[in-house]
């Protein structure tokens, strides 16, 4: 089941000479970078840089291309954001100067990225032409190209790319039904371990915060694919047969995001695909431990940093609502309606406040997590993803 | 058992006018603060500011007083270190400028400190005159004074001070045998909840990384005192009767530090007081799950961020050794001898390297955590505690 594939096909990357767009309010002074973050303005190709200590925006950076499905990772010094755009753009944003430091178009269509444990390598997973490309995080020079080739040379879309301890990247091949581990110990010559027949159409994945378990959702069949990275020799196994597209009773309006899975104590809380439920998984046995009825089809199911509550947003037509679940009673303890198009949430690192993008109100709203009361509203144009620099220090984020 | 005690006795703090000592190599340029840290030079009253991305020192700051037992917390923007000295000194160090921004002598003899969840308040636990004082993290102005008064007005030494979710501080009273929660929702009027008769002489404590469980070690009797902060109404209960001074067979050369306790999966790994063992605690039942024989009396028992291995240092005469335990097999898989006086360790936030102070060699050594090989050595004068800025984003650190 496991085969090694260390060879790489060189690939020419188009590097755009880029004149950075410096915002008027750009930060010029010496300051810490631990309380920064950014909000994606999805239709403007822009990001707004924020400060959580004062709940305000500091600057706005334009020129990031198509951000209709964007994600972000941070450099280990928390100065630079790497923004992965839908158009294959990889943009390195200087959070302190409020400007773009580099930008390349590394592929035709990309879906996400990750930064290596040591912070030296940024990897991007691509739809077109498929595969994973790995770049130097300082220069954005191409370091390695890993085509996702299967069968007779077909190329697979790659999804669910995450970093793992040991300077590894792990990702899933949508078309091939495979999970790959790329060990980047020698950055120019990744050593790839392939797991075949993991399930039909893995569509997204997560890694637990300790970097041990990689779990892919399967679009083409029931259940999830689980890989224990402490024991790759045991291969991938199928868990939670009640999960996934095969069991759905309702049309799926939007695929849930698996990066948002929540772990509290021994329980993982995951969005049930297509059902109005949050699944509870017992992580000791990897079996289902319960289902919580919620208002709609959950998209992001996120735990507060203290694990005491789970916050859930929903697909249409319930995308105006957030529900909050108590992790002890497994009951919904609050429902709020921030407005239509609540697309994403991000908790401050020690959990006292949560930021939310409310697309159709052109607002970012900030709530106190203890009493679930709104404490601030900031203007943003069609905001989507929110990403704080504290992610730099977390595996898988 | 629980009584409320909201009143405070005002206390005049002597603020020292301080001329900061700016090192020659001080950092002047704009830079991120996520990969910084400091090493305490315990006999020089100095700290060396370090950068984990390059494994080097950036600058040295002097004038911090008696650092023979020092600890450090960080501001939420990761720019400022708050250094708690043995002499009651509280020093705010600007990590980016490499200089002291403020310094006060807030008591005669202090033992440790914490920063509130929201980052606005810094608390110090004192031996002389006892109690906890709370300061504004921007100005070091006194915000609240919480005398640890018990019985007929006696003052207790305070130990085991940590932050907890809900902007609370939790601490233990050595002389009184009590645990207190101070809710700082109204910073000028802390609301104190007292738990009495928790055990004889609590000497140190820890809080789990989710901020739920506060556990104090007891010097005067067997066992530990456990407080579930999700359920303070259940009070404090005694756990692990095999733990503690009462059961010791050997003289205790140095009290272990409880902040260093390690949690991996459902197991907590703790130093057995006075015995050559690491105790394994099942966190579901809070009962003992095993004992691992080690070379000497453990002091710090610390988990890698990925939870896969536990690193242990020891009291005299074994303080030249580090042992590494595999958390699955519960076996010692490596013993290394960095040199006499291995006082402290700190893992890089995503765990790829670990820094160690080797006092008698005047060295800080850096190891790759995967192959346990030394990769760098840096000079430092009698180094003790090592603290990275990533602690800013963690509860209880």
Residue from the list B36, B117, B352 with its beta carbon closest to the beta carbon of A352 = B117
What is the pLDDT at residue A372?
97
d(CA B228, nearest CA chain A) in Å: 12
CB contact under 8 A, B74 and A34: yes
B188 vs A168: CA distance, rounded Å: 49
Quick check: A37 and A389 in contact, CB under 8 A? yes
- Please state the pTM of the whole predicted model: 0.91
d(CA A307, nearest CA chain B) in Å: 7
Coil, strand or helix at A360: helix
Coil, strand or helix at B232: helix
Angle at A127 between CA A48 and CA A108, to 5 degrees: 70
- Closest alpha carbon within chain B to A30: B30
Rounded to 5 degrees, φ, ψ at B83 are -105, 120
B207 vs B396: CA distance, rounded Å: 6
d(CA B350, nearest CA chain A) in Å: 6
Which two tokens mark B240?
């692990």
CB contact under 8 A, A33 and B30: no
Give whole-number Cα distances, B60 to A323, B43, B48, B71, B367, in Å.
49, 14, 4, 17, 23
A contact residues 81-110, partner B, Cβ 8 Å cutoff: 95-97
d(CA B112, nearest CA chain A) in Å: 20
CB contact under 8 A, A328 and B266: no
Which two tokens mark A20?
């950075």
pLDDT per residue, tens digit, chain A (397 aa), is 333 333 333 332 333 323 333 343 444 589 999 999 999 999 999 999 999 999 999 999 999 999 998 999 999 999 999 999 999 999 999 999 999 999 999 887 887 999 999 999 999 999 888 899 999 999 999 999 999 999 888 999 999 999 999 999 999 999 999 999 999 999 999 999 999 999 999 988 999 989 999 999 888 888 899 999 999 999 999 998 877 655 455 555 566 677 667 887 789 998 887 789 999 999 989 999 999 999 999 999 999 999 999 999 999 999 999 999 999 999 999 999 999 999 999 999 999 999 999 999 999 999 999 999 999 999 999 999 999 999 999 998 8
Which residues of chain B neighbour A210 with C-beta distances below 8 Å? 264, 305-308
Residue from the list B30, B52, B117 with its beta carbon closest to the beta carbon of A30 = B30
Give whole-number Cα distances, A284 to A205, A228, A288, in Å.
19, 13, 11
Give whole-number Cα distances, A306 to A70, A145, A331, B192, in Å.
27, 39, 17, 22
Coil, strand or helix at B233: helix
- CATH value of A106-254 in 2.40.50.140, 2.130.10.10, 3.40.50.2300, 1.10.357.140: 2.130.10.10
Residue with tokens 């999700």: B230
CB contact under 8 A, A74 and B350: no
- Closest alpha carbon within chain B to A163: B350
Residue with tokens 């767009």: A21
Q: Is B136 on the interface with A (CB under 8 A)?
A: no
- Closest alpha carbon within chain B to A391: B393
d(CA B291, nearest CA chain A) in Å: 22
d(CA B151, nearest CA chain A) in Å: 34
Helix/strand number for chain B, H first, E second: 0, 36
A359 vs B102: CA distance, rounded Å: 43
Q: Is B118 on the interface with A (CB under 8 A)?
A: yes
CB contact under 8 A, A33 and B165: no
Which two tokens mark B364?
């800080």
Q: Is the dihedral of CA B351, B353, B359, B360 positive or negative?
A: positive
Which residues of chain A neighbour B307 with C-beta distances below 8 Å? 210, 212
Which residues of chain A neighbour B80 with C-beta distances below 8 Å? 32
What is the pLDDT at residue B26?
43
d(CA A265, nearest CA chain B) in Å: 9
Contacts of A78 by beta carbon, 8 Å cutoff, 6+ apart? A33, A34, A36, A95, A389, A390, A392, B32, B33, B34, B35, B78
CB contact under 8 A, B33 and A34: yes
- E-strand spans in A106-187? 109-115, 121-128, 132-136, 142-146, 149-150, 154-155, 158-164, 168-173, 178-183
CB contact under 8 A, B165 and A351: yes
Which helix H or strand E contains A192, and what residues bound it?
strand A191-195
Q: Is B355 on the interface with A (CB under 8 A)?
A: no
B65 vs B84: CA distance, rounded Å: 10
Beta-carbon pairs below 8 A across chains A and B:
152
Per-domain residue ranges of chain A: 106-254
What is the pLDDT at residue B260?
62
ipTM of the complex: 0.90
CB contact under 8 A, B32 and A33: yes
- Closest alpha carbon within chain A to B37: A77
Residue pLDDT, tens place only, B270-320: 888 778 999 999 998 999 999 999 999 999 999 999 999 999 999 999 999
Rounded to 5 degrees, φ, ψ at B213 are -105, 130
d(CA A82, nearest CA chain B) in Å: 15
Mutation for B interface: A28, A34, A56, A185, most B CBs within 10 A: A34
Quick one: chain A helix, strand, coil %, rounded to 5?
5, 50, 45
- Closest alpha carbon within chain A to B397: A350
B228 vs B207: CA distance, rounded Å: 10
Which residues of chain A neighbour B74 with C-beta distances below 8 Å? 34
Which residues of chain B neighbour A95 with C-beta distances below 8 Å? 32
- Closest alpha carbon within chain B to A37: B77
A contact residues 148-207, partner B, Cβ 8 Å cutoff: 165-167
B149 vs B298: CA distance, rounded Å: 33
Residue from the list A96, A306, A390 with its beta carbon closest to the beta carbon of B30 = A96
Residue pLDDT, tens place only, B57-111: 999 999 999 999 899 999 999 999 999 999 999 999 999 999 999 999 988 788 7
Quick check: A275 and A296 in contact, CB under 8 A? no
Quick check: A133 and A187 in contact, CB under 8 A? no
d(CA A245, nearest CA chain B) in Å: 30
Contacts of A32 by beta carbon, 8 Å cutoff, 6+ apart? B33, B75, B77, B78, B79, B80, B95, B96
d(CA A391, nearest CA chain B) in Å: 10
How many CA atoms within 13 Å lie on the side-chain side of A107? 28
Residue ranges of chain B whose pLDDT lies below 70: 1-28, 244-256, 259-260
Q: Is A80 on the interface with B (CB under 8 A)?
A: yes
Minimal CA–CA distance to A392: which of A360, A349, A362, A350? A349
Cα torsion for A142, A143, A148, A150, to the nearest 10°?
A: 130
Minimal CA–CA distance to A313: which of A345, A287, A290? A345
> How crowded is residue A10: how many other Cβ atoms within 10 Å of its Cβ?
7
């Amino acid at each position: 089941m496991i085969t090694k594939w260390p060879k790489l096909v060189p690939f020419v990357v188009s590097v755009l000479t880029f004149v950075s767009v410096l915002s008027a309010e750009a930060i010029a002074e010496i300051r810490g970078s631990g309380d920064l973050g950014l909000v994606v303005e999805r239709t403007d190709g822009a990001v707004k840089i924020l400060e959580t200590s004062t709940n305000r925006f500091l600057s706005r950076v334009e020129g990031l291309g198509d951000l209709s499905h964007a994600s972000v990772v941070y450099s280990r010094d928390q100065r630079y954001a790497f923004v992965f755009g839908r158009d294959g753009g990889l943009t390195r944003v200087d959070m302190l100067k409020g400007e773009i430091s580099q930008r390349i178009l590394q592929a035709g269509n990309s879906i996400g990225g990750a930064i290596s444990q040591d912070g030296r390598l940024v990897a991007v997973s691509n739809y077109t032409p498929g595969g994973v490309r790995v770049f130097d995080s300082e220069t954005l020079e191409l370091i390695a190209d890993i085509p996702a080739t299967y069968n007779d040379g077909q190329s697979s879309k790659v999804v669910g790319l995450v970093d793992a301890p040991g300077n590894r990247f792990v990702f899933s091949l949508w078309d091939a039904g495979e999970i790959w581990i790329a060990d980047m110990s020698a950055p120019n010559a990744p050593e790839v371990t392939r797991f075949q027949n993991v399930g039909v159409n893995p569509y997204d994945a997560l890694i637990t915060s300790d970097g041990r378990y990689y779990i892919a959702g399967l679009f083409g069949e029931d259940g999830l694919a689980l890989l224990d990275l402490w024991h790759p020799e045991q291969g991938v196994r199928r868990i939670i047969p009640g999960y996934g597209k095969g069991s759905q009773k309702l049309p799926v309006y939007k695929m849930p995001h698996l990066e948002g899975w929540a772990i509290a104590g021994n329980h993982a809380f995951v969005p049930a695909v297509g059902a109005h439920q949050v699944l509870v998984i017992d992580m000791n046995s990897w079996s289902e431990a319960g289902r919580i009825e919620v208002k709609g089809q959950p998209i992001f199911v996120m735990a507060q940093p203290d694990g005491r509550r789970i916050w859930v947003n929903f697909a249409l037509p319930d995308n105006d609502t957030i529900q909050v679940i108590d992790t002890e009673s497994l009951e919904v303890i609050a429902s709020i309606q921030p407005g239509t198009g609540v697309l994403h949430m991000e908790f401050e690192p020690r959990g006292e406040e949560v930021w939310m993008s409310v697309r159709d109100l052109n607002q970012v709203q900030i709530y106190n997590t203890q009493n679930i009361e709104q404490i601030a509203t900031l203007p943003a144009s069609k905001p989507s993803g929110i990403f704080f620099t504290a992610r730099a220090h977390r595996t898988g984020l």
